[in-house]
Amino acid sequence: MLKQRIITALILAPLALMAILFLPIWWFELAIAGVVALGGYEWANMSGITERPKKILYMIATFVICILLTLAVDSSMIWYQGQLHWFYRVILGLAIVWWAASLIMVLAYPKYTALWRNSRSVRTLFGFLTLIPTWVAVIALRTSLHDVDPFYGASLIFYVLGIVWAADIGAFFVGVKFGRHKLRPNVSPGKSLEGLLGGIAASFAIIAFAALHYQVEPSRIWLHLLIGGVTVAVSALGDLNESMLKRCAGIKDSGRILPGHGGVLDRIDSLTAAFPVFAFCYVTWMA
């Protein structure tokens, strides 16, 4: 298992790095749409859809929505005079509402699940609310200041990846050593409050480095720390949300496409929450 995980990571990491840094925007939009579509296939399975043709149809629908967004908003108009296109802003705003609702669902679980647990259509709607804003957020960040510095948007993506991965590593080690209070045992028994706090603390090293790198004004450092902390905290919510839906579907992994890692959603679950929330904060207070 460990050997498979290492081999898969060694193959995927350079591909992701090159895609973020060097793919033209149009091809980058397609690549991220492809990743989101694969997540859509797995989300259909978590929604209780067992028929392969229907799962493929949901995957295609997810991909098509992303493509329609690229056609509706030309890459040159995603940002105009320092402002994100209103359509993308609306989608990011909807994502904030969805993740607030998701927090309530996770905190209440397994109570009050009758409204959605037995409804495949509602759970597939949850998938669109999770995956489409993720695509929008990644594209919005990648195209930020692209005409000034083509790599600036890539640095924003790496920033989010960095603080989330640092939080995951910190949460693992702190949780193993000091974890006593379960975060949401009914949803994900392995996660602890101590692990979450340890993850946030670990991510602050990346946040502080980024503040120095971008020469943030001292009076605004508190804002970067706050947004970074919120992004890391909500990344845990993304993980818990997927765990909740997998538990409802009675499955352990979202898929088997990545040897040793499970499915695509198993690897990006925390990012589906972190990217939209960070992008919304960036657009609203940092851009």
Residue whose C-alpha is closest to residue 84's, from 133, 130, 141 = 141
Q: What's residue 62's pLDDT?
A: 98
| Radius of gyration from C-alpha coordinates of the chain | 18
Q: What's residue 217's pLDDT?
A: 82
Phi-psi region of 262 (alpha: psi -120 to 50; beta: other; left: phi over 0): left
Is residue 230 within 8 Å of 236, Cβ to Cβ? Answer: no
Residue 94: CB partners within 8 Å, gap ≥ 6?
A: 129, 133
Q: What's residue 158's pLDDT?
A: 94
The beta strand positions in the chain, using DSSP E, are 79-80, 83-84, 182-184, 188-192
> Would you say the pTM of this structure is higher than 0.85?
yes
Is residue 183 within 8 Å of 166, Cβ to Cβ? Answer: no
Is residue 109 within 8 Å of 244, Cβ to Cβ? Answer: yes
Phi, psi of 85 (to 5 degrees): -55, 140
Q: How many CA atoms lie less than 13 Å away from 13 in the CB half-sphere?
A: 7
| Domain housing 55 | 2-286
* Location of structure tokens 């793919």: 23
Phi, psi of 265 (to 5 degrees): -65, -30
Instruction: Using DSSP, state whether 254 is helix, strand or coil.
Output: coil
Q: What's residue 8's pLDDT?
A: 66
Rounded mean pLDDT for each run of 10 residues along the chain, 287 residues in total: 61 88 96 96 92 96 98 94 96 98 91 84 95 98 95 95 90 81 76 83 85 79 89 92 88 76 85 97 88
**What is d(CA 231, CA 223) in angstroms, rounded to the nearest whole number?**
12
Prior bond to 150 cis, omega within 30? Answer: no
> How many structural domains compose the chain?
1
Count of other CB atoms within 10 angstroms of residue 168: 18
Q: What's residue 2's pLDDT?
A: 46
